[in-house]
């Protein structure tokens, strides 16, 4: 019989507690009684680095973890839903664990859940082997003033080493993340998925940290104490980048393609990781869970109503505009969006509405994620605006 050691307590601080009764009981007993005792199990260990490696676990523990990390394949579900031939093209399930001779590897965002599964299913606790990378501290200084809700979010971020910040557009996720970088004092890599975000982050780093950002992507490869990297470029240089950073951040983590996301995230053994998102939802619903598997659970959610009350954002009035556009949708979203943007009757209706509002003195912003669509709308507005 042995006592619950500090290493386990520190791992509990990595992410938030799951909330079933047996897990709460074990955590509560351990926290209130310094002499809380559990059966010894010298062979059970959990190494936490780029991934987690659980060694020496009994069968009931590994079975529970495997079940948690087995997800239905969204492509298989879509093919079956629309009666498409599947054959051997799509496996029915996706497995986010690997069985090795030395044990079971899992995404590190589930570190605490693995520990608590050992406690709940086996009544034993693993020895924690911390293999995360910590580098010499940087003297970062944050030059900014956080709003009250941002201070609260930052406090929750700092409690846990892994996790995801969920906050809507206009909440200042970038500013909160830079404040976290300054407090953690580890060289940081910020992963983005577009060139525009690369330069937006570089500008904010200069504004709030008074540093010139390192840039990786858009024809540049110059790492620095705080570096912004486009995810596709980062994947081509993982071996070079891995030793340089003790803090990894993923901006708009719900938008990064799943395979690209997992390839890049699992390459880093940094002490800290933080995901940033307005919403963790992905169109392939089961894939939403990957964000939490690899980055940790939501450490803080900024309430949109509080954003409105603080004046950070305004509440929009949404007006539905019926159009004559129709489409026989069959799980072909890109094709549908192409047809939508090319529908000239609909485009003329949009341009007429914009012209009408602008003549009333309104400032109009017309948004589309397709350049050709924007150009066509601009042409129609010029023609109709006189």
What are the mean pLDDT values of the chain's consecutive 10-residue runs (386 residues total)?
Answer: 38 43 46 49 86 95 95 82 73 92 95 93 92 97 95 96 91 96 98 96 98 97 97 96 98 82 93 89 66 93 81 80 92 90 95 93 91 94 80
Interior angle at CA 22, CA 107 and CA 120, nearest 5: 50
Quick one: pLDDT at residue 287? 66
Q: What is the pTM of this model?
A: 0.76
Interior angle at CA 55, CA 121 and CA 1, nearest 5: 60
Cα–Cα distance for residue pair 216/166, rounded to 1 Å = 25
* Structural domains of the chain sorted by starting position, each given as residue range(s) with its CATH number in brackets: 2-130 (no CATH), 148-310 (3.40.50.300), 333-385 (no CATH)
Quick one: pLDDT at residue 23? 45
Cα–Cα distance for residue pair 92/54, rounded to 1 Å = 26
């Amino acid at each position: 019989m042995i006592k619950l050691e500090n290493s386990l307590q520190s791992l509990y601080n990595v992410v938030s507690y799951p909330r079933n009764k047996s897990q709460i009981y074990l955590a509560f007993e351990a926290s209130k009684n310094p002499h809380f005792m559990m059966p010894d199990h010298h062979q059970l260990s959990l190494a936490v680095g780029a991934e987690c490696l659980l060694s020496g676990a009994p069968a009931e523990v590994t079975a529970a973890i495997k079940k948690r990390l087995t997800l239905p394949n969204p492509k298989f579900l879509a093919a079956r839903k629309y009666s498409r031939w599947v054959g051997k093209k799509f496996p029915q399930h996706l497995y986010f664990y690997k069985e090795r001779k030395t044990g079971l590897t899992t995404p590190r965002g589930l570190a605490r859940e693995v520990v608590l599964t050992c406690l709940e299913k086996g009544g034993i606790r693993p020895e924690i082997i911390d293999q995360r990378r910590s580098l010499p501290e940087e003297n970062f200084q944050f030059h900014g003033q956080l709003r009250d809700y941002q201070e609260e979010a930052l406090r929750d971020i700092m409690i846990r080493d892994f996790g995801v910040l969920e906050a809507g557009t206009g909440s200042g996720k970038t500013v909160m993340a830079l404040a976290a970088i300054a407090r953690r004092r580890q060289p940081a890599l910020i992963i983005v998925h577009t060139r525009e975000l690369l330069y937006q982050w570089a500008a904010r780093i200069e504004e709030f940290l008074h540093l010139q950002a390192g840039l990786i992507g858009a024809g540049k490869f110059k790492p620095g104490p705080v570096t912004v990297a486009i995810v596709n470029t980062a994947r081509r240089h993982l071996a070079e980048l891995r030793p340089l950073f003790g803090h990894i951040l993923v901006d708009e983590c719900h938008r990064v393609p799943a395979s690209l996301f997992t390839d890049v995230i699992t390459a880093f053994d940094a002490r800290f990781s933080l995901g940033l998102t307005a919403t963790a939802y992905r169109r392939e619903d089961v894939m939403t869970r990957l964000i939490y598997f690899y980055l940790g659970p939501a450490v803080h959610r900024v309430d949109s109503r509080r954003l409105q009350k603080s004046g950070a954002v305004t509440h929009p009035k949404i007006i539905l505009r019926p159009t004559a556009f129709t489409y026989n949708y069959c799980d072909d979203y890109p094709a549908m969006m192409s047809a939508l943007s090319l529908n000239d009757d609909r485009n003329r209706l949009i341009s007429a509405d914009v012209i009408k509002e602008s003549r009333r003195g309104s400032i109009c912003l017309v948004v589309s994620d397709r350049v050709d669509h924007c150009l066509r709308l601009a042409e129609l507005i010029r023609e109709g605006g006189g």
